[in-house]
Amino acid sequence: ERRAPPEKIAVIGAGIGGTSAAYYLRQKFGKDVKIDVFEKGKVGGRLATLNVRGQEFESGGSVIHPLNLHMKRFVKDLGLSAVQSPSGLMGVYNGETLVYEESSWFIINMIKLIWHYGFQSLRMHMWVEDILDKFMRIYRYQSHDYAFSSVEKLLHSLGGDDYLGLFNRSLLETLQKAGFSEKFLDEIITPVMRVNYGQTTNINGFVGAVSMSCTDPGLWAVKGGNKLVCSRLLQASRSNLVSGLVMSIEEKTRTKQTGNPSKVYEVVYQTGSETHSDFYDIVLVATPLNRKMSNINFLNFDPPIEEFHQHYEPLVTTLIKGELNSFVLSSRPLNKFHLGTILTTDNPDLFINSIGLVSPVEEDSISQPKADLAHVWKIFSAAPLTKKQILKLFVSYDYVVKQSWLAYPHYTPPEKCPSIILHDRLYYLNGIEFAASAMEMSAIAGYNAALLAYHRWNGNTHMIDQEDLYERLKTEL
Ligand SMILES: Cc1cc2nc3c(=O)[nH]c(=O)nc-3n(C[C@H](O)[C@H](O)[C@H](O)COP(=O)(O)OP(=O)(O)OC[C@H]3O[C@@H](n4cnc5c(N)ncnc54)[C@H](O)[C@@H]3O)c2cc1C
Ligand SMILES: CC(C)=CCC/C(C)=C/CC/C(C)=C/CSC[C@H](N)C(=O)O
């Protein structure tokens, strides 16, 4: 006999993790359960846009990989559309000169890469492809409703000890062992880690591979802004959005209408100056549990729910509409400067991680800067840019806007991912960011948490943490 569904579920956070969890919770638990999604800021969280002279530009999560199947499915099912992300030519600046510059001719690029780095670029591509290939197994597991109780078990299910080993070792160690040269690591790999995660090759190998996959062709974004996926998921899940700040969660015993006492969680939250509380059978926390980001108190749990001290990397996105000073980066005037993205090496004198041309969220991509036009450039930096720094990079500018983030975990392998199960019916999604932080990773965590909550509610232990799933599902065909 199937257990009656829960009456009420709370999801804390309306980013892509929380809204995808709400969507899948509705699919699993059915139409009668009441789902409240709490959000202290804007729906979308780290998917957000900034306005530059009347046009919106992505300021947080911006690019999506062509093999990110949950994001792809959301866009299709929620009536949204995709646009190609800018694919301009890329250069690498070391603080003095451009140490690498792409050409618009494929064959020239190949020759340049081989001349500078031998066949390392091709080997790197194959290494990433192999990791992505195994990563795709998660979609098969999830489509068969399997869930995992820890991020480590999820990673292990994708490719065994070697795969989990990627997460436990630094990218540097993994690539050095594989024979990649210092020059290639400094001039190509580190700049890619800096633009994507604001860090060096000291990050774990798995997030390193995810980051390298951003050099694949076919990256895309959601027309109108990636955050639209979150608002549409919320709508489709028929959840109730509560605009408020969750302050604490405590387990309580309550007598329900049936007369039986049952364990529920009391969620205390603030809307404006008022404090409210409500009771839930299941709670999903879909925000980093980090004092600076969410500050949720877990009251009177026995054993106590551990404090989360993981450090998130401060990062500033600055959008500047202006004319780039190409002479800072090269010896060429702007009309002869054809790069759309400039990455940087790990030089402490540099005050930016990257600078790249961007398109408004409503438009298809531009790939080349035009000398006669002021374009919008996106800069990532560890600290806010000063006026002096902006004037060094731009001959002139007419608009600047910035957004500061605690962007992604500071990766220090080997490390342990926080638990997904915090308590009996209390789940945590954002531990997955310690493997890699990306929209698709949060969507996978959202689906996994919904499946885990469903199976644990119904006692379906055979659907959780199953070994050899890949082999078993292969023979099931
Ligand atoms: C600058 C930047 C660039 C990025 N670029 C990319 C990219 O190109 N591609 C990609 O795939 N990923 C990218 N990412 C990563 C990606 O944006 C994140 O991994 C993803 O958006 C995280 O989603 P989430 O729902 O897990 O968390 P969040 O989006 O952080 O959502 C958590 C939500 O919870 C809310 N909240 C927190 N505490 C409380 C509380 N106590 N009560 C109520 N609500 C609360 C927050 O306001 C927030 O809205 C980027 C991130 C940044 C910052
Ligand atoms: C999860 C898998 C397999 C792939 C995801 C690849 C991906 C899109 C990772 C995102 C990495 C990230 C945090 C990028 C931030 S910067 C993005 C972009 N260069 C920009 O300029 O905004």
The pLDDT tens digits of the residues spanning 7-29 come to 999 999 999 999 999 999 999 99
pLDDT band at 159 (very low <50, low <70, confident <90, very high): very high
> What does the pLDDT look like over 91-104, one tens digit per residue?
999 999 999 999 99
pLDDT for 372: 44
Q: What is the distance between the alpha carbons of residues 245 and 39, in angstroms, rounded to a whole number?
A: 6
Which residue, judged by its Cα, is nearest atom 47 of ligand 1?
Answer: 41
Q: For residue 137, give the ligand nearest its CA.
A: 2
pLDDT for 302: 92
Average confidence (pLDDT) over 174-183: 98
Q: What is the distance between the alpha carbons of residues 212 and 192, in angstroms, rounded to a whole number?
A: 7
pLDDT for 92: 98
> What does pLDDT average to over the chain?
95
DSSP per residue, 68-85: -HHHHHHHHHTT--EEEP
191, with CB counted inside 10 A (0-12, 13-18, 19+), is buried
Q: What is the distance between the alpha carbons of residues 243 and 270, in angstroms, rounded to a whole number?
A: 9
pLDDT for 469: 96
pLDDT band at 371 (very low <50, low <70, confident <90, very high): very low
Distance 257 CA to ligand 1 centre (A): 38
Q: At what angle do helices 120-135 and 106-117 cross, to 10 degrees?
A: 100
Average confidence (pLDDT) over 228-254: 98
Which residue, judged by its Cα, is nearest atom 16 of ligand 2?
Answer: 196
Q: For residue 139, give the ligand nearest its CA.
A: 2
Q: Are 222 and 75 in contact (CB under 8 A)?
A: yes
Atom from ligand 2 closest to the CA of residue 219: 8
Atom from ligand 1 closest to the CA of residue 445: 26
Distance 183 CA to ligand 1 centre (A): 34
Average confidence (pLDDT) over 131-140: 98
Q: For the chain, give the percent of residues with pLDDT over 90.
A: 92
What is the distance, to the nearest Å, from the Cα of residue 407 to the centroid of all Cα atoms in its chain? Answer: 9
Question: Is residue 356 lining ligand 1, measured as CB closer than 6 Å?
Answer: no
pLDDT for 307: 81
Which tokens in the block code for residue 72? 């792809």
Distance 91 CA to ligand 1 centre (A): 28
Average confidence (pLDDT) over 178-196: 98
pLDDT band at 2 (very low <50, low <70, confident <90, very high): confident
CA separation, residue 293 to residues 98, 270, 358, 407 (Å): 37, 16, 28, 10
Residue 93 half-sphere exposure toward CB, CA atoms < 13 A: 25
- Which segments of 237-373 does DSSP mark as H helices, in order? 326-329
Distance 49 CA to ligand 1 centre (A): 13
Q: Are 92 and 188 in contact (CB under 8 A)?
A: yes
Which residue, judged by its Cα, is nearest atom 48 of ligand 1?
Answer: 45
> What does the pLDDT look like over 27-68, one tens digit per residue?
999 999 999 999 999 999 999 999 999 999 999 999 999 999
Is the pLDDT higher at 365 or at 273? 273
Distance 16 CA to ligand 1 centre (A): 7
Atom from ligand 1 closest to the CA of residue 19: 25
Which tokens in the block code for residue 446? 């959202």
Helices and strands per DSSP (H, E), number in the chain: 15, 21
pLDDT band at 86 (very low <50, low <70, confident <90, very high): confident
**CB count, 10 Å around CB of 334?**
17
Is the pLDDT higher at 367 or at 37? 37
Which tokens in the block code for residue 342? 């400039």
Q: What is the distance between the alpha carbons of residues 204 and 435, in angstroms, rounded to a whole number?
A: 8
Residue 432 has pLDDT above 90, yes or no: yes
Distance 438 CA to ligand 1 centre (A): 9
Residue 173 has pLDDT above 80, yes or no: yes
Distance 438 CA to ligand 2 centre (A): 6
Average confidence (pLDDT) over 361-387: 79
Average confidence (pLDDT) over 322-329: 96
What is the distance, to the nearest Å, from the Cα of residue 281 to the centroid of all Cα atoms in its chain? Answer: 28
Q: For the chain, give the percent of residues with pLDDT over 70.
A: 97
pLDDT for 251: 97
Atom from ligand 2 closest to the CA of residue 437: 13
pLDDT for 474: 86
DSSP one-letter code for 430 = G
Q: For residue 15, give the ligand nearest its CA.
A: 1
Atom from ligand 1 closest to the CA of residue 437: 19
Q: For residue 248, give the ligand nearest its CA.
A: 1
pLDDT for 13: 98
Question: Is residue 86 lining ligand 1, measured as CB closer than 6 Å?
Answer: no
pLDDT band at 364 (very low <50, low <70, confident <90, very high): low
Average confidence (pLDDT) over 145-152: 98
Distance 143 CA to ligand 2 centre (A): 24
Instruction: Give, for ligand 2, the residue of 210, 312, 444, 447 to mutate: max count of ligand atoms closer than 8 Å to Cβ.
Output: 210
Which tokens in the block code for residue 435? 């493997």
Average confidence (pLDDT) over 403-421: 96
3-state helix, strand, coil in the chain (%, to 5): 35, 25, 35
**CB count, 10 Å around CB of 475?**
6
Q: What is the distance between the alpha carbons of residues 277 and 264, in angstroms, rounded to a whole number?
A: 12
Distance 129 CA to ligand 2 centre (A): 16
Number of residues that make up the chain: 477
Average confidence (pLDDT) over 111-132: 97
Q: Is the peptide bond before 303 cis (omega within 30 degrees of 0)?
A: yes
| Range with lowest mean pLDDT among 81-90, 234-243, 252-261, 415-424 | 252-261
> What does the pLDDT look like over 438-475, one tens digit per residue?
999 999 999 999 999 999 999 999 999 999 999 999 88
pLDDT for 166: 97
